[in-house]
Structure 1
């Protein structure tokens, strides 16, 4: 139970920013999943506001996270896919907060790719001080771990792997060989990269798994801060593949607990050319099989349940330490997981399965009491989080940089009259040769941009026909109307709106709009008289 309003401080001093990796919006019991139980996240939603229609700005880890960390659309920050460096010219979350005395650190994954060329050009040392922070996306890497170490790779200098070795887990790569693999009947190693082994338990005890370790390190960070204000980005790797869960979570759910795949034969018979390419990739071919879904999805659900249990441990610690009283808590994901919906695996396209994510925000202050337990169905975006952090902490906004809007009115129970009526997301398939090469597309001609309103979802695809879904008649997005002559006018109007959105990006981030508005007056006050007779 939360404390009475009269005993809670009127200020937010800290931010606990929690992100799961590849967690679908609909895989929480508070979002309506009929068999998966997430009691701690459900309780978090009751203490705050659950945003039921939150959308990421990129349907892959890197682009999505860089938008969240910068508060800017993908077009504006330029880190358009995984492993595309985030320019040192972008201002990130840590750089907005650190000058105001907040320690800004990460425990877990960020997917930030360092801009080493930019560092060299500016004379920055990427290994220390301001240079290192710039290479880490503005986060102090208190315990950064992006995971995903391939089989046979020798892992050195990774704290989690070193910790496992200290517990007696042997080998060059204990992340793979123990935390993300199982044992066969003859004692053989069964790699978690092969989804056929998903029903077997990981070789680590549950307290030694990635999710449990990451939770403990977050608790350690919070305890270390004392009264110093902080933002902690707690970024879990799971339920992202490899789909391997420790006992008992590996066997907590079965095929009877999974939801039917959302897909139609028409989607496979006559798909959009880009969608056809993705349907032929190995993850999609695998998840098109019922055997694969019935093997993998119960483990995915177990990983979500373990995450929820570990978050319960963290929330208990926040409460016991008193930090619940002055900490804004945010829980979200970077994108979803197809799991066979639309005959697809992985992510990268724009169905709600991927671009719609869970978002729960808890403001501890009494002024937020009126909205506790509320579910908001307004269209919100991940770029709204950074403005929300600044607003909650009482810090000045940065409208020249930030393209999202603070969620604070919703947290206070208000309904803004001028809230957005559309959300946007972007991706490129330039990095996917099995998709790009059969279409004969150059790398620079593979951009896709989604515009989603209440009624319509429109996807512009460079050089190819668009996709269009009527969400009122087809909420599961099974009928692509992108070539329907009867909707040509709708497509034309949405394309025009997309151009207008592109035109309005923040193009002058280094100068505040107020300074621009005052520029002419400053010239006159300085005695500059241009063109006078």
Structure 2
């Protein structure tokens, strides 16, 4: 039974373990928990790159970073790269965006192909295959991703005027004597954002999603709506009453060890020296920032409760599959790091919940799956859910629908990639730009990180779940490294580069030269007649 619609919710920089259904001891996420109770919660889901842009391009194409080529934030996805929107449009499904994509258009490639960004096809290509009902990447509203977002105009219309309302109101706090305190600065994370909660980004995007669904419900065409929140990504500042909902007592102990600082891998050592890492090592920083991070998550949860009630009221709940996830995690000081970008669990593993309303999924409702899954699995999952034809020559992920509907499949390992050429690890270590690449392969226990030009990193998550002990140079684990390298090389040898012709097309075309009177290797007319007779006999006298 195919679903009618899909609501695909993505948070930005939400760790897998900051949900109460995932075991966090104090955060309150009752609506996300309720979603998990009526779906499948995947506990071992991994992104294809632990940074916004490349991760999202893998979500939106269903392809590994090595295949789509957008290896860092702001590196354009090349014009012509097939996207989820292309596959859904072919079967009559709208692929709609409300929120963030971090997509930067390949304007040079579009000019080369004569594609005008203002045309229908130009919008499709430049918006990563989405119909942009509301594009807003936040973060840098005057920058290259989504300049002049409608949210700025919305704030102005409600009396919150400024040259940059997003920063001036939604991401700043009030200080003494009328001072405005920047939410970019971690010192102000304990203060309330200046914007009223009902005018905040999270509330606004939720309203816009409901507005789209109301219009689309009247239109009647099936849709996939990507509701992509820009929080709990920094700036870590949240409006009242969420700013003081949590306190220092709610902050879980930091996961780091002095052992990690003794002779660390050179690339890891450079990341520990990044400003965003050093600040989280200061006393008191986590206790100030993490309560705001938790408040941002609970705010999202509250608005999801509003959204789920709307689905019920509009009669959409029984025909809409809901998928909840994140584009990567956040170190928050764990492992002496800030931000994301390396392959520890808190960075590369994500929350993933799939709630399929169809009776076919009743058998797994409320269950937890420990299958190894990847972000690229969502694109083929959505195509499958809508009843579309599989495209394994393009989509490198695997549909999760069998797992959601009680069948089983196993993946031997997951892959994630990262290009660190834009970080100090390149200049600290004198690495050529072309060699600034890392690849993780993880089999559910052993996690190997290949770093071009260096020894690998290796962690055993069974004996060392906190990933404190790097076994990359340990002779006793040479066999494990060899096995994981063999898996990585097998993956590297099987790129999905032939995307214009499917395996089915090849099978159908095999041996058809004779039908086209391409007579290669025949001696005379008798040879040709005999070959044609043999062909008719083999095909059961079917023409062509």
Q: Is the 8 A contact 1:267 1:478 kept in 2?
A: yes
Query: Are 1:98 and 2:89 counterparts?
Result: yes
**Offset of 1:171 from its aligned partner?**
0.8
User: SS where residue 230 of structure 2 aligns?
Assistant: strand
Q: Is the 8 A contact 1:11 1:326 kept in 2?
A: no
1:3 corresponds in structure 2 to none
2:540 corresponds in structure 1 to none
In the TM superposition, what are the counterparts of 1:435-514 in structure 2 within 5 Å? 435-514=425-504
In 1, distance between residues paired with 2:372 and 2:455? 26
Q: Is the 8 A contact 1:149 1:173 kept in 2?
A: no
**Offset of 1:518 from its aligned partner?**
2.9
In the TM superposition, what are the counterparts of 1:174-213 in structure 2 within 5 Å? 174-213=165-204
Pick from 502, 508, 522: which aligns with 1:518? 508
Gapped runs of 5+ residues in structure 1?
1-9
**Offset of 1:151 from its aligned partner?**
9.5
2:249 corresponds in structure 1 to 256
In 1, distance between residues paired with 2:211 and 2:139? 24
Pick from 287, 291, 297: which aligns with 1:304? 297
Q: Is the 8 A contact 1:151 1:176 kept in 2?
A: no
Q: Is the 8 A contact 1:379 1:421 kept in 2?
A: yes
Query: Are 1:315 and 2:308 counterparts?
Result: yes
2:205 corresponds in structure 1 to 214
Q: Is the 8 A contact 1:50 1:375 kept in 2?
A: yes
Q: Is the 8 A contact 2:62 2:376 kept in 1?
A: yes
1:117 corresponds in structure 2 to 108
2:129 corresponds in structure 1 to 138
**Offset of 1:501 from its aligned partner?**
0.6
In 1, distance between residues paired with 2:118 and 2:230? 24
Instruction: Say which one has the larger Rg.
Output: 2
In the TM superposition, what are the counterparts of 1:40-51 in structure 2 within 5 Å? 40-51=31-42
Q: Is the 8 A contact 2:160 2:169 kept in 1?
A: yes
In the TM superposition, what are the counterparts of 1:415-434 in structure 2 within 5 Å? 415-416=408-409, 419-432=410-423, 434=424
In 1, distance between residues paired with 2:491 and 2:312? 43
In the TM superposition, what are the counterparts of 1:74-93 in structure 2 within 5 Å? 74-93=65-84
Q: Is the 8 A contact 2:141 2:149 kept in 1?
A: no
Q: Is the 8 A contact 2:16 2:350 kept in 1?
A: yes
**Offset of 1:162 from its aligned partner?**
0.4
**Offset of 1:88 from its aligned partner?**
1.5
User: SS where residue 297 of structure 1 aligns?
Assistant: helix
Larger mean Cα displacement after TM superposition, 472-481 or 333-342: 472-481
Q: Is the 8 A contact 1:151 1:177 kept in 2?
A: no
After superposition, the Cα gap between the structure-2 partners of 1:151 and 1:322, relative to the gap in structure 1 and judged at 3 Å, is: closer
Query: Are 1:406 and 2:399 counterparts?
Result: yes
Per-residue CA deviation, residues 26-68 of structure 1 (Å, 9 max, x unaligned), is 0000000000010000000011111111100010001100001
In the TM superposition, what are the counterparts of 1:229-378 in structure 2 within 5 Å? 229-378=222-371
In 1, distance between residues paired with 2:152 and 2:389? 41
TM-score by length of 1: 0.96
Per-residue CA deviation, residues 120-176 of structure 1 (Å, 9 max, x unaligned), is 1111001221012101100011100001137999x9732101000011012101100
**Offset of 1:489 from its aligned partner?**
2.1
In 1, distance between residues paired with 2:341 and 2:2? 39
In 1, distance between residues paired with 2:514 and 2:438? 46
In 1, distance between residues paired with 2:21 and 2:147? 40
**Offset of 1:269 from its aligned partner?**
2.1
In 1, distance between residues paired with 2:449 and 2:226? 31
**Offset of 1:526 from its aligned partner?**
2.0
User: SS where residue 310 of structure 2 aligns?
Assistant: helix
**Offset of 1:525 from its aligned partner?**
2.5
1:36 corresponds in structure 2 to 27
Larger mean Cα displacement after TM superposition, 293-302 or 92-101: 92-101
After superposition, the Cα gap between the structure-2 partners of 1:240 and 1:156, relative to the gap in structure 1 and judged at 3 Å, is: closer
2:10 corresponds in structure 1 to 19
1:384 corresponds in structure 2 to 377
State the superposition RMSD in angstroms: 1.4
Please list every run of at least 4 consecutive aligned residues from structure 1 whose deviation after the TM superposition is greater than 3 angstroms: 150-153
Per-residue CA deviation, residues 339-382 of structure 1 (Å, 9 max, x unaligned), is 00000000110001011000000111111111100000110011
TM-score by length of 2: 0.94
**Offset of 1:500 from its aligned partner?**
0.8
Q: Is the 8 A contact 2:183 2:236 kept in 1?
A: yes
Gapped runs of 5+ residues in structure 2?
524-544
User: SS where residue 90 of structure 1 aligns?
Assistant: coil
User: SS where residue 66 of structure 1 aligns?
Assistant: helix
Aligned length: 520
